[in-house]
Structure 1
Amino acid sequence: MTTETFYCGCPVDLEQRTFDRAACDYVPVNDNDRAKRTEAEHILPAFWIAHFHPGPSCWEKDEACGSARECCLKNDDRFKRAHNDLVNLTPAIGELNNVRSNLTYAIVPGEERLFGSCDFETDSDLRITEPREDVRGDIARVYFYMGETYDLEFPDELRTLLDEWDGTDPISPAEVDRNERIRGVQGTANDFVSQ
């Protein structure tokens, strides 16, 4: 079983939380600790788990509980389950996890590559990130699962993009394998992949 970073496809050593930079021609912008390790990336960012929900948002910083994320984790069981759901977590290069932050997925005009051959573009002014083509359907199906499982509502423009990505990037054997490994660990998995 080969595991790779989500955005660049670099081979990963999960125990060491490292990846093979040369194998995917990843070139960091800032060669710091985060550029040398993998992190658990929320495909649907925690910020949006709190904000795409139709009820009141738990995303409020409070001295009693800490940061907005810490407050959500302490005070909102739905958010905590969604935040920790393995379907929504994947290994990513720490630097890209940081750059992506809570940016929305979209198509970034142009193809300026800042990270070597890694097909990952971002536009901080537009607040968007464009992932490589062969994970776009994976992203869509994770969003569909998260929406259905945790009562999240996506803006029409995002939903249209996700529908397109689902259609242009079909379910792969690696996606099915990952889904079944998740089922083995947490007892549930993404039915949008199982179908």
Structure 2
Amino acid sequence: MKSLLFLLMASASVAAAPSSFNAAKKQLVSVYDQLPGATTFYCGCDYRRKGKKLLPDLHSCGYRVRKQKTRADRIEWEHVVPAWAFGHQLQCWQEGGRKNCRKDQRFKVMEADMHNLVPALGEVNGDRAHYRFSDMGQTPFQYGRCEMVVDFKGRRVQPPERARGAIARTYLYMQEQYRVKLSGSQLKLMQSWDNLYPVTTQECERHRRVSQRQGWPNPHVAQQCQQLEANANP
């Protein structure tokens, strides 16, 4: 049986990476609309497709609106590694921020990388901003049963355990793929989460679909999925 990594690499010749962030969002709606068992990334809310958008079911995950009802009622495509985090390391950002970087080809590729994009409730996406991920040991309290904690004063976010492995593998991928600089403490945390929270079959299926559309894999996910497949089919 050919390995998952080989199959994903072979698909690169027929896949077409999205040319912009907007193009990536359109492709991701189709990816997630047909992804078995998929829910919003942080809160685990069910959703349904309506035209070109995905609409969340807040009752399905016990979500309580903190402040922004309009944004809570929609799904937004969240950069796990924020655009600020990789953008401000580029000269274009220093000279004019995100708007100016939209003219920079390297930034456009990074901004549209679907391995770094996940569906999140708009309010959670807005509250997270570009705060760094952390394990603060806090009991979630802000969003009902959604186990997300945003420390606005400390500019930190504690994500649910269900999302930590995927977050870690995304950070490690962005570091290697685009030379995004991580602090020593960030790198250590992501390596720890990668080990503590291995891939699930659902993460592997999502990765397979994204890789086939975009043209290349996230090796940190692909390698674990390959091992998961081997263990399931000895």
TM-score by length of 2: 0.76
Whether the 8 Å contact between 2:140 and 2:146 is mirrored in structure 1 is no
Instruction: Trace 1:54-93 onto structure 2 (pairs within 5 A).
Output: 56-60=90-94, 62=96, 68-74=97-103, 76-93=104-121
How big is the shift at 1:86?
A: 0.3
Whether the 8 Å contact between 1:59 and 1:69 is mirrored in structure 2 is yes
Counterpart for residue 47 of structure 2: 12
Whether the 8 Å contact between 1:108 and 1:123 is mirrored in structure 2 is no
How big is the shift at 1:177?
A: 0.4
Whether the 8 Å contact between 1:19 and 1:36 is mirrored in structure 2 is yes
| 1:58-116 Cα distance to aligned partner (Å, 9 max, x none) | 22464xxxxx1111121x22211111000000000000000001010012352141100
Counterpart for residue 168 of structure 1: 196
Q: Distance in 1 between matches of 2:131 and 2:54?
A: 24
Q: Distance in 2 between matches of 1:48 and 1:41?
A: 13
| 1:16-62 Cα distance to aligned partner (Å, 9 max, x none) | 421111111001112521010100000000000123x4xx5322464
Aligned letter for 2:78? E
Counterpart for residue 145 of structure 2: 117
Counterpart for residue 45 of structure 1: 82
DSSP 3-state at the match of 1:58? helix
What percent of counterpart residues are identical? 34
Instruction: Trace 1:178-189 onto structure 2 (pairs within 5 A).
Output: 178-189=206-217
RMSD over equivalenced CA pairs, Å: 1.5
Structure 2: gaps (5+ residues): 1-35, 224-234
Q: Distance in 2 between matches of 1:14 and 1:3?
A: 12
DSSP 3-state at the match of 1:90? strand
Whether the 8 Å contact between 1:11 and 1:20 is mirrored in structure 2 is yes
Q: Distance in 2 between matches of 1:166 and 1:27?
A: 29
Question: Which region of structure 1 is more displaced relative to structure 2, 133-142 or 180-189?
Answer: 180-189
Aligned letter for 1:23? S
Q: Distance in 2 between matches of 1:57 and 1:130?
A: 30
Aligned letter for 1:160? K
How big is the shift at 1:117?
A: 0.6
Report whether the alignment pairs 1:192 with 2:192: no
Q: Distance in 2 between matches of 1:123 and 1:93?
A: 18
How big is the shift at 1:189?
A: 2.2
Counterpart for residue 65 of structure 1: none
Report whether the alignment pairs 1:26 with 2:39: no
Q: 1:155 to 1:95 in 2, by over 3 A?
A: same
Structure 1: gaps (5+ residues): 63-67
Question: Which region of structure 1 is more displaced relative to structure 2, 118-127 or 103-112?
Answer: 103-112
Question: Of the two structures, which has the highest relative contact order with CA contacts closer than 8 Å and spacing of 6 or more?
Answer: 2
Aligned letter for 2:84? F
Structure number with larger C-alpha Rg: 2
